[in-house]
Amino acid sequence: MKKLFLIGLVFCSITQAQNEIDLSYYLPQNINYDPNIPTPKSVIGHEVGKWHVTHDKLVQYMYALANASDRITIEDRGKTFEDRPILLLTITSPQNHSQIDNIRNAHVAATNAGSSSLNVSGRPIVVYQGFSIHGNEPSGANAGLLAAYYLAAAQGDYITELLNTTVILFDPSFNPDGLQRFAYWANSNKSINLNADPLDREYSEVWPGGRTNHYWFDLNRDWLAAQLPESRARIVSFHKWMPNILTDHHEMGTNATFFFQPGIPSRIHPLTPKINQELTRRIGDYHADALNKIGSLYYTEESYDDFYYGKGSTFPDINGSIGILFEQASSRGHIQESDNGILTFPFTIRNQFTAALSTLRAAKNMREDILIYQYDFYKNARSEAARENGKAIVFGDEKDAAKTYHLAEILHRHHIKFHEVKQDFTANGKHFKKGYAYIVPKNQKNTRLINAMFEKRTRFQDSLFYDISAWTFPLAFNVDYAEGVSTNNAGVEVTDLQFKSGAVSGKSNYAYLMEWHEYYTPRLLNKLLGKSLRAKVAMKPLRLNGKQYDYGTILIPVQNQRLNENDLYELLNQLAKDSHVQIDAVSTGLTQGIDLGSRLFRALKQPKIAVLVGKGVRSYDAGEIWHLFDTRYNIKITKLDTKSVDRADLSRYNTLIVASSSASGMSESDVKKIKEWVKNGGTIVGYRNTLKWFKSKEFAKLEFKKVEVEAKDVSFEQKDDFEGAQDIGGAIFEADIDRSHPINFGYKNNQIALFRNTTIFMKPDSSSYNNPIRYTKNPILSGYISKPNLDSLSLTVPLQIKKLGKGKVVAFTDNTNFRAFWYGTNKLLMNAIFFREEL
Ligand SMILES: [Zn+2]
């Protein structure tokens, strides 16, 4: 009884304490604060930590600070998908502000060729501080209110010296849409009597949660590929300033404590210089000191890694900067029971705030060493580059200018220089065509980044990875490429990268032909079919007017259409421009190969597509599909929630896409309903784990290989590492393809690269024509896979297509839409949809 009473008392005092908390809980108390600077409460209406700050209020406060303080300027760098501003504050002394362009120019110039020595005296260090890239890890962004206030309002010698020697690029929210989504959840479920019960609804967000951005992407995997607006804005700031330190404030499980980098020493990418980690460790001493003072537990080096350069704490490491990850145990809502007692939201905010300040203290004190580190990074990179003078990488696809453009676009964002090819040439047995290929000289500033983007790596110091182990860009784009080609093939440098515009070769009164290789052809085809215009697909190649047309060529006849000759021509002109594709006017049906009236031209119907979302579905994978259709192909798809299946009229759709999922979000009768719909002619496309219920619910007879690895001489301590080593965290594999199969239309080579992060190994069909895509004998191209898994994967298939009644089941073991940058396999899904009748 007494004990219970005591516990009650503790609860009470903590919850009360949280409701009564004010700035004194967080801020250093031995200094003065400028009363002319608005406190967070005076603008957002509550103390920091009492509620979860919404992004709108965060924006309001940052503008209020910028208005009130001569230490702060603010810029709006663009909009998220939900039209929220992507802000950046520049915080430094008023004197530095008065010559900010000079400071920036000098800072960046030190990383360029021609800066023979570095004079560090009087030169500020540049620190980029960013918060809550995962929206439901909100202590970072809420601590940002305090950090910005402190930097604007604190008085005294320390802050004066700090601001004189430091330029802070302050990014209050890395993920505005996610932060807003989560704040809504946590606030709307908060009780007056704070409830620490982990089972309270407050701590259990609805699908898909606030971690991700609008299309459910993990923004902390997009720093390198930069496919999303939030990343693009950041990358511009990064290259504009070349910060010396970049911090990334996260949260982890509720029972943890606080983590700061360095991460696991054996999992550092080998292209990252050793000194980077030494400096990270020295910076860590400052975090330890500061956390000791407030009595917070923490750890370092035991988890997380610096391998994949697409993460915020690792991307800087290949760009001469030092990336630092912070992870705070999450209260998720306002207060939660944990192994370390009651964890309050203010406590989590205070740790983040403390680490933000200790970062700045480290930066100020280590300024010279870190400036010299960056200078040396580029000096050494330049000498590595000089050794490769005259050598280059060429990439391109002579049938797909758009894919080539989008890869070049990534290089462009990262300030990697490239050139047109001077004239068509062949290297490594691949043909590179002017206008469809680019050359990247190795001898340039960002040569290390080029290596990180283009290299294939299959040997590793460690066999565990926090994220993917391979991201080789030309493979992800499925473009041809060759390394070690001569720069003599280089034409003019591309400074103003332009999308190749599409066109129709002329007006026809007979027919038009369009090859299927270009990336955006599905966008055009969908528009045509949506206007009830007739189009057909060629099941075989043909030759006409001296031009070879590949499998999958689209035929648009002129006669008997809903538009007359002129209107059709006008429309095609417009669509060809919109979709950047080439359409040829032809005047005869007689060809070498199948004639235009052949039965091997099959009529196409518009797809009516739903993608399953909600409980049981992996939100990242579903979001990638939504994003692909919505933003790339302008194709409308219905996001059909698993909870709506029972009342849905499925006859509205002819295609249902099921990203990786268990069937757990649906009842038996929902699954049965979907099965009946397939039997009546629907096409269901399933990915990854979905294949398991396709098998168990008898949608399709699929057979999987079981891999069992016996633990021999593995101690208890080694168990996790042993098991982890059997995962495929994300690697790239080679498959042979049968180009005559409609699933492969639009691919010009006989092999493709596939991304895989599952250990689902599917056995091939006994009839070879039913195995249009098949892993090669030794399929690893880049990344980590254990030997037993590699043996199992050999000669299996990533795809099976089975009939079910009048319908079809299309089963992919691998994600063809990974993180929006795997352009190379997007067409497989498009083929499954547009050519579903022909599969
Ligand atoms: Zn996180």
Nearest-angstrom CA–CA distance, 397 and 402? 9
Cα 139 to ligand 1 centre (Å): 11
Provide the edge-to-edge strand list for the sheet that holds 547-549.
547-549, 542-544, 592-593
CA of 691 to the centre of ligand 1 (A): 29
* pLDDT computed for residue 12 by the predictor: 46
CA pair distance 714, 718, nearest whole angstrom:
6
Strand order in the sheet with 391-396: 480-486, 391-396, 437-441, 419-421, 490-493
What tokens does 777 get? 């004998």
Spacing, Cα 141 to ligand 1 middle (Å): 12
Q: Kindly give the distance from the C-alpha atom of residue 234 to the centroid of ligand 1, in angstroms, as a whole number.
A: 17
Calculate mean pLDDT across residues 276-295.
98
**Ligand 1 centroid vs 132 CA: distance in angstroms?**
7
Distance 328 CA to ligand 1 centre (A): 9
Q: Where are the beta strands (DSSP E) in 442-579?
A: 480-486, 490-493, 503-504, 511-514, 536-538, 542-544, 547-549, 554-557
Q: What is the C-alpha end-to-end distance of the chain, expressed in Å?
A: 71
Q: From ligand 1's centre to the CA of 213, what distance in Å?
A: 13
Could you give the strand order of the β-sheet that contains 773-782, starting from the edge strand earlier in sequence? 751-756, 731-737, 773-782
Report the pLDDT averaged over residues 592-619: 97
Q: Which stretch of DSSP H or E encloses residue 641?
A: strand 637-641
CA of 325 to the centre of ligand 1 (A): 9
pLDDT score recorded for residue 115: 67
CA of 783 to the centre of ligand 1 (A): 23
What would the pLDDT profile of 288-329 be if each residue is shown by its tens digit?
A: 999 999 999 999 999 898 999 999 999 999 999 999 999 999
Could you tell me the distance, in angstroms and rounded to a whole number, from the CA of residue 23 to the centre of ligand 1? 26
Q: 355: CA distance to ligand 1 center in Å?
A: 16
* 502 CA distance to ligand 1 middle (Å): 41
251 Cα: distance to centroid of ligand 1 (angstroms): 5
Q: Give the model's pLDDT for residue 709.
A: 83
Q: How far is the CA of 316 from the centre of ligand 1 (A)?
A: 17
471 CA distance to ligand 1 middle (Å): 21
User: In angstroms, what CA-CA distances link 566 with 503, 782, 793?
Assistant: 15, 51, 53
Centre of ligand 1 to C-alpha 136, Å, is 8
pLDDT(4) > 50: no
Q: From the CA of 727, how far away is ligand 1's center (Å)? A: 21
Which pLDDT score, from 0 to 100, does residue 15 have?
Answer: 55
Per the CB < 8 A criterion, the answer to whether 334 and 258 are in contact is no
pTM score: 0.96
Tokens of 131: 């918060």
Average pLDDT value for the chain: 95
pLDDT at 19: 61
Q: In this predicted model, which residue has the larger pLDDT, 718 or 182? A: 182
User: What is the Å distance from ligand 1's center to 721 Cα?
Assistant: 22
> In the prediction, which pLDDT does 659 show?
97
Residues 114-158: tens digit of each pLDDT: 766 788 899 999 999 999 999 999 999 999 999 999 999 999 999
CA of 446 to the centre of ligand 1 (A): 28
pLDDT of residue 102: 97
